[in-house]
Amino acid sequence: MSFFRRPLVLFSLLVVVALAFFFFPREGDRPDPFDGLVVLDRALSSEPESLDPQLARTTQAADVLRDLGEGLAGYSPTGELVPAGAISWTSAEDALSYRFELRREARWSNGDPVTASDYVLGLQRLVDPATAAFYAGQLGSVLNAEPILRGEMAPQSLGVEAIDDYTLEIRLERPTPYLVALLTHPSTFPVNASGLNERGEMNVNAGELISNGAYVLEERTTNTLVQLRRNEQYWNNQNTAIDVVRHHVITEEMAELNRFRAGELHITSNVPPESFAQVKEEYGDQLHVYPYLGVYYYGFNLTKPPFKDNLPLRQALSMALDRETLVEKIIGRGEVPAYSFVPPGIDNYEPPQFSYANLTQAERNSIARSLYAQAGYGDDNPLRFELRYNTSDTHQRIALAAQSMWKDVLGAEVTLVNEEVRVMLQNIRDAEITQLFKSSWIGDFNDAQNFLGVVEPGAPSNMPGYENEEYLELLRNAASNMDLERRRLFLEEAERVMLADHPVIPVYFFVSKHLVSNDVVGWGDNLLDYHYSQHLSLKPGEQARP
């Protein structure tokens, strides 16, 4: 027995020593590689899957790319379109061509000047089928983009031309009033030819990626960290305050919040719903909630009963959904109830609303009940259907709330089906067993067309399978109309027509939610939720890391 006392003591000692070794004082932890530098720690909610601007797909990749690169235009901290790689632009009378005058002092991180041919290369690369870019369709309205995408023409025939080193011309197939906004997207960023290999693949290794933005790539660990360092060659380098930007990839919202609270992050990408009230109380001054260009909606499968050709039923469900309660009590993070599909705040657009937007919920409920009866359902013959949503706590809470609202108001029996997201998407696409499904749309740029195009008949994003000639016609008219005012009227009329058909139930409009440390200066809330690191700085004295 005594034999085991001794080794046990030894073991315990070993363990204690090992642990003590770990418990180094935290300052000793860091043989500070950032000594004397201003370091910003911010969070990404998922891995930026590619830092090749043409290959990137997610908003997280775009967030990093906006730090690394620069397009013809960009955004100010408060979301106004501002010149970036170009200093000015003009469009022709017919609005079918644009000319951009480029910034002469712009440099790549290897010292090369950024020229018009670099932009041409980037745009050709985007539509080249061999690149297999996700955003290749983004530039569909540029001359020849679509045939190139289908492999019918060479990428060089794209309607983009370098008139001289600092003048770029883009020719269009059809008027595109939001062209400049499109050109802020990373997929349209220029490319330095010396960064491509013989197969046209970009070298995206840390330390080797050639970029033209405020930062260069210093270090990268998949699913953990993307670390950027100031680009000394950047034309606006003297106005860049942050030396090192560390984009931490944190997928767990609670972990992200904890890291903010532990002083390890300056900016979070989100705030977990369960902790929102507590965060608001504790960090009210550091909590930033702002409208965001996105709509959360339930889509009907319009190709199958019970929702096919049954407008009263669809309208009844929409009216019986108490969006105010949902937004205030169930989600409760400042979201806005949606009575239209296009979010408020879009430039040059006033969303029309459902006719019942201004009624009280009680009034809506009583109309909903009579519509429900009119559709052929009642207490003895209740509507039974499935609501699909992809696995997530928030979707689930909303679905549960909707389920009980439809039960209480109409007596409808809703079965909730939560599926893994890809299974759900497959089921929606098959349109066989799907009846009502959860979806959302995040705007790529600030234009109503981007939202109304979602349910455009024939579009791949039109998951409900909405068909309406009049709607299509109005969208076409808007697309071919250069007069902004008339275009606006066409678009608004289109939305009115679409809303009346109820192909979807808009539920709420998104808000962006960030915790931004008090040490951060220059943060601006904006509709697109873009926050360039180069616009930010840290309070003097707070530059030493937490």
Partner 1 sequence: MKTAIARAFAHRTVLVSASLLAIVAVFAFLGPVLSPNDYAETDFDELRAAPTLSDLHIFGTDNLGRDQFVRTMLGIQVTLAVAFIASFVSLVIGVLYGAVAGLVGGRVDAVMMRFVDTLYALPFIFFVILLMVAFDRNFLLVFVAIGAINWLDMARIVRGQTLSLKEREFIDAARLGGVSLPGIIWRHIAPNLVGIVIVYVTLTIPQAILMESFLSFLGLGIQEPRTSLGSLVENGVGQIESASWLLLIPAGLLALILMCFNFLGDGLRDLFDSRSSA
Partner 2 sequence: MLRYTLRRLLGAIPTVLLVIVLAFIMVRAAPGGPFDAERALSPDVEANIARYYNLDESLPRQFFRYLGGVLQGDLGPSYRYRDTTVSELIADHLPVSMMIGGMAMLLAIIVGVALGIMAALNRTAITDRVVMGFAMLGISVPVFVLAPVFMLFLSVKLQWLPAGWSSTPGPSKYVLPVISLALPQIAYIARLSRASLIDVLSSDFIRTARAQGLSQGSIVRYHALKPAMLPVLSYMGPAIAVILTGSVVIEEIFGIPGVGQFFVRGALNRDYTLVLGIVIFYAVLIVLLNLIVDLLYGLIDPRIRARR
The alpha carbons of the chain give a radius of gyration, in whole angstroms, of: 26
Options 92-100, 115-123, 200-208, 387-395: segment touching partner 1 (CB under 8 A): 387-395
Binding site partner of 396, from partner 2, partner 1, none, Cβ cut-off 5-8 A by kind: partner 1
Distance CA 435, CA 385 (A): 7
Q: How far is CA 437 from the centre of its chain?
A: 20
Q: Is position 178 an interface residue for partner 2 (rule: CB under 8 A)? A: no
Do 118 and 149 contact (CB within 8 A), yes or no? no
Residues between 171 and 200 that touch partner 1 (CB under 8 A): none
Q: Could you tell which of partner 1, partner 2, none binds residue 146, using a CB distance below 5 to 8 A set by kind?
A: partner 2
Region 412-441 residues binding partner 2, contact defined as CB under 8 A: 420-423, 425-427, 429, 439-441
Whole-angstrom Cα distance, residue 175 to residue 343?
A: 23
In the complex, the smallest distance separating the C-beta of residue 538 from partner 1, rounded to whole angstroms, is: 28
**Neighbouring residues of 144: CB distance < 8 A, sequence distance ≥ 6:** 153, 157, 158, 159, 173
Among 206, 367, 423, 431, binds partner 1 (CB under 8 A): 423
Looking at residue 103, what DSSP letter applies? P
Partner from partner 2, partner 1, none binding residue 359, C-beta < 5-8 Å depending on class: none
Residue in this structure with the two tokens 């027995």, named with its chain if needed: 1
Question: Using CB under 8 A, which of 221, 239, 404, 461 touches partner 1?
Answer: 404
Pick the binder of partner 2 from 99, 171, 174, 261 (CB under 8 A).
Answer: 261
Task: Kindly state whether residue 254 participates in binding partner 1, applying the rule CB under 8 A.
Answer: yes
229 lies in the site for partner 2, by CB under 8 A: no
Stretch that binds partner 1, among 45-53, 354-362, 412-420, 509-517 (CB under 8 A): 412-420
Q: Does 537 bind partner 2 (CB under 8 A)?
A: no
Cis peptide before 306 (omega within 30 of 0): yes
- C-alpha 295/C-alpha 401 separation (Å) is 18
Query: Whose CA is closest to 351, among 491, 483, 500?
Result: 491
Q: Does 396 bind partner 1 (CB under 8 A)?
A: yes
Tell me the residue ranges of DSSP E strands in 45-91: 73-75, 81-83, 86-91
Angstrom distance (rounded) from CA 329 to CA 403 = 15
Return the amino acid letter for 389. Y
**At closest approach, how far in Å is the CB of 4 from partner 2?**
6
Instruction: Copy the structure tokens of residue 383.
Output: 């509507």
Two structure tokens written together for 32: 């500070």
Q: Which of 500, 501, 455 is nearest to 308 (CA)?
A: 501
Work out which of 39, 52, 306, 361 binds partner 2, going by CB under 8 A: 52
Rounded CA gap, 411 and 316, in Å? 12
26 versus 281: smaller Cβ distance to partner 2: 26
- The nearer residue to partner 1, 241 or 330, going by C-beta atoms, is 330
**H helix or E strand, kind and range, residue 298:** strand 287-300
Find, among 197, 208, 188, the residue nearest to 137 by Cα.
188
Cα 103 vs. chain centroid, distance in angstroms?
A: 28
Pattern 469-488, binding to partner 1, x per CB under 8 A?
--------------------
Residue 223 binds partner 1, judged by CB under 8 A: no
What is the nearest approach in angstroms of partner 2 to the Cβ of residue 63? 16
All residues at 6 or more sequence positions from 491 whose CB lies less than 8 Å from its CB, including other chains:
349, 448, 449, 452, 474, 475, 478
Q: How many CA atoms lie within 13 Å of 64's alpha carbon, on the beta-carbon side?
A: 32
Q: Does 272 interact with partner 1 (rule: CB under 8 A)?
A: yes
Between 7 and 332, whose beta carbon lies closer to partner 2? 7
Quickly tell me which residue has 């296009």 as its tokens: 342
Choosing among partner 2, partner 1, none, which partner's interface includes residue 468 (Cβ < 5 to 8 Å by kind)? Answer: none
Count Cβ atoms below 10 Å from residue 148 Cβ, excluding itself. 24
For partner 2, what does the binding mask look like between residues 5 and 24, x meaning CB under 8 A? --xx--xx-xx--xx-xxxx
Residues numbered 275-334 forming contacts with partner 1, rule: CB under 8 A: 275, 277-278, 325, 329-330
At its nearest, how many Å lie between partner 2 and the CB of residue 31? Answer: 7
Q: Which of residues 352-381 bind partner 1 (CB under 8 A)?
A: none
Q: How far is the CB of 49 from partner 1 (least distance, A)?
A: 21
- Least spacing, CB of residue 466 vs partner 2, in Å: 14
Binding region for partner 1 (CB under 8 A): 253-254, 272, 274-275, 277-278, 325, 329-330, 391-393, 396-397, 400-401, 404, 416-418, 420, 423
